[in-house]
Amino acid sequence: MNHMSTSYRIFTIFNIAFLSLLGIICIIPLIHILAVSFSAPAPANANLVRFLPIDFTLSAWGQTLGNDNFLRALWNGITRTVLGTVVSLFTITLAAYALSKEDHEFKGRKFYIYFLVFIMLFNGGLIPTYILVQNLGLINTIWALVLPGAVNVFNLILMLNFFRTGVPKSLEEAALMDGAGHFRILFSIYLPISLPAIATVGLFTLVGQWNSWFDGLIYLTDASKFPLSTFLQTIIVQNDYSQMNVNADEMKAMSERTVRSAQIFIGALPIIMVYPFLQRYFVKGIVLGSVKE
């Protein structure tokens, strides 16, 4: 027993040390980017900034937050993320509730599950998807960013497995005996019990929607409708500062590196702010949702 206790203690110390080191490694780039964004152009361009700003200045943040195109893209990104997460959670929850039933309750359940797994592994491809979105009249609308990926099969399987393993069958049977319908059972029994799974799927969806940039490039023809991730990809990766709507004198006065750093940090900030509120549900949801088909 003492041997096991010592081994467990050593494992715990090693685990804490390893995870702490991993956390520091993940935080260091953010600290560096934040320091660069608050530094003067000269030391930033000379690559002298490490983890503390040099010649502290707010010019990069003022240039970023004072730019109408950036603020518009930020609002578009928030709108797309919130709408996409709500639509995705609604459709996934309804589908997962139906697919969580037993075979005798839902005829053809296994066929639908196998079909969903198949389309998760094999999709129609980029060009057929674009043609479909175009024929539906969704090009250059926010729905082109929301609807094509509304039902993520991995998240759907995670949710239905939680419904099958985390919700006592006796509660549903008692509700049916009292005359409750399926929608009443779903919203009054399943959803309150399934907060860890909902938070987990919601977090996956939220991060995916916020970080997605490629669909904005191919489905949106108006740059004013770009979400923030697509806007940043255009500026930072393609090095196209025409979207910033600044004149030549302003371009000379500011440092591209400090402005980029401010934009990158602002782009990561919403996820950093949301994650702590969902983290306590995250581990429980991902574990319980992966136990059973």
Residues 14 and 102 in one domain: no
Residues 237 and 113 in one domain: yes
CA–CA separation, 183 vs 199, rounded Å? 20
For residue 293, name the pLDDT band (cuts at 50, 70, 90): very low
CA–CA separation, 139 vs 161, rounded Å? 35
Split into its structural domains, the chain has a count of 2
264 inside domain: yes
The pTM score is 0.80
CA–CA separation, 75 vs 78, rounded Å? 5
- Please report the pLDDT score of residue 91 as a whole number: 94
> Which residue type does 28 have?
I
Buried b (16+ CB within 10 A) or exposed e, 145-180: bbbbebbbbebbbbbbbbbbebbeeeebeebeeeee
Q: Which of 97, 100, 279 is nearest to 181 (CA)?
A: 97
- Please report the pLDDT score of residue 239 as a whole number: 63
Residues 67 and 147 in one domain: yes
**Residue that wins the pLDDT comparison between 75 and 241:** 75
- Please report the pLDDT score of residue 48 as a whole number: 84
**Residue that wins the pLDDT comparison between 87 and 288:** 87
The residues, ordered by sequence, that sit 6+ positions from 259 with a Cβ below 8 Å of its Cβ are 37, 60, 63, 64, 244
Residues 106 and 27 in one domain: no
CA–CA separation, 33 vs 255, rounded Å? 14
115 inside domain: yes
52 inside domain: no
54 inside domain: no
Residues 177 and 68 in one domain: yes
> pLDDT tens across 256-265, in order?
778 888 888 8
Q: Residue 210 is part of which domain span? A: 59-288
293 inside domain: no
Q: Which of 28-37, 116-125, 200-209, 241-250 has the lowest mean pLDDT?
A: 241-250
18 inside domain: yes
268 inside domain: yes
51 inside domain: no
CA–CA separation, 149 vs 211, rounded Å? 13
